[in-house]
Chains A and B, each alone.
Chain A
Amino acid sequence: MTDLVKENILLNAVTSAFKIEGKVIRDRRVEVHADKNTVSSILLFAKKQLGYIHMNHMTCIDWIEQGEFELVYTIYHPVDKLTLFVKTRIDREIPVMENIDTIWDHANTYEREMREMFGIEFPGLVGEHDFILEDWDQIPPMRKEFDTHKYAAETFYTRPGREDAKDVREELSKRSGTVVPDFAKKYSRE
């Protein structure tokens, strides 16, 4: 096990420059939590000053209970082999986030996907509104309040014969005599 020297240097560099919180997840993985207004400055700082020249990925998580979207920017240092996660939370009701495709061009693709799948607006984002879906007229499908099972049952033809399909979780708990935990019950079919 390494003693995480590089990771702590990186964490200190970013957190002291922007007065934000963060932690070392494990070796080669560091995460920082930033306000949505400072994200682009952090990314630019990491790119120009620290050498995190590559953006691996940019993704979104729907925290419906807290009423927030979490955006995660994953950037990579090809010499130090370190990965930095910049995480930020934005309001779920007014999902607007700064467009960063001036820093990395390929962020455009991820932002278009998020615009389509979560309905997050990026002011100044250039690109067709239809990215993967065509003629979509419902709420964005990756939002958690979108009931995909109900939508599929209404839209697509269901062939008879799936009625005897068993719920794997409940069958296993019956067979082994254990109890399904409460947090898992809301995902069962009944």
Chain B
Amino acid sequence: MENDKNSQKIVDYIGNFARKHSLFVLAYGTGCGAIEIPATMTSRYDAERFGIRGAATPRQADVLLITGYLSTKTLKRVIRVYEQMQEPKYVIGFGSCTVNGGMYYDSYNTINGLDQYIPVDVYINGCMPRPEAVISGFVKLQELIMAGKANNGEKYRENLEHYRSNQKKIIKNWKMPDYNW
């Protein structure tokens, strides 16, 4: 939300400040990138000093971290998880597999380009990204939140038709619940 001076409202500023410093990451590991998360969280790199920590369930989480390749079977679960998350919600695509398919670009069973199916806030490239890169991606996300630009949950709701049509192209037998937006 913007005020008449084209800057954030005070209340949004305070809200964003609070959100920025408490990013709860859903403990959902896909692909091989999940092995970098323990290293990022534990004492050497200590991501918790940025307010990044794990959350147990989708409804408690703010960030969905897609760590590596997504098979079409996993994409179904990821969409369900993403739709269960409460707004504000953010997605970080992690590793080159989420960017363009990576080394699995010609696989029959892994998607290329995550942002066709769910909106992505920040991409971290690399195969694998080291914990420094992961933290740098989170800091970038914090900047976006602070500037009020990380509103992809809203974008997903508005462009639901577009995303649904892309998702249904991959998931042929669509038997998913419709969540109450």
Residues of A within 8 A of B (CB): 132-135, 137-138, 141, 146, 148-149, 151-153, 155-159, 161-162
Contact = CB atoms under 8 A, between A and B. Distances in A.
Contacts of A155: 108, 169-170
Interface in B76-117: 76, 99-101, 105-113, 116
Contacts of A159: 99-101, 112-113
B171 A148 contact: no
A152 B100 contact: no
B159 interface: no
A150 to B, nearest CB: 9
B173 interface: yes
B106 to A, nearest CB: 4
A40 to B, nearest CB: 32
Nearest to A160: B100
A47 B128 CA distance: 45
A190 to B, nearest CB: 15
B107 A158 contact: no
Contact of B107 (A138, A152, A162): A152
13 contacts: A134-B72, A134-B173, A135-B173, A137-B172, A138-B108, A148-B107, A152-B101, A152-B106, A155-B108, A155-B170, A158-B112, A159-B100, A159-B112
Contact of A152 (B76, B99, B105, B166): B105
A80 B112 CA distance: 48
B76 A134 contact: yes
A159 B105 CA distance: 10
A38 to B, nearest CB: 35
Contacts of B110: 156
A75 to B, nearest CB: 30
Contact of A158 (B73, B100, B166, B170): B100
Contact of A156 (B73, B76, B113, B171): B113
B108 A141 contact: yes
A151 B100 CA distance: 16
Contacts of A152: 101, 105-108, 112
B5 to A, nearest CB: 39
Contacts of B108: 138, 141, 146, 148, 151-152, 155
A83 B109 CA distance: 33
A161 B100 contact: yes
A159 B170 CA distance: 16
Nearest to A133: B109
B137 to A, nearest CB: 18
Nearest to A137: B172
B106 A149 contact: yes
B23 to A, nearest CB: 27
Most B C-beta atoms less than 10 A away, residue of A141, A149, A152: A152
A137 B101 CA distance: 22
Nearest to B175: A135
A179 B181 CA distance: 61
A148 B106 contact: yes
B109 A157 contact: no
Most B C-beta atoms less than 10 A away, residue of A137, A156, A157, A159: A156
Contacts of A156: 101, 110-113, 170
Contacts of A141: 108-109
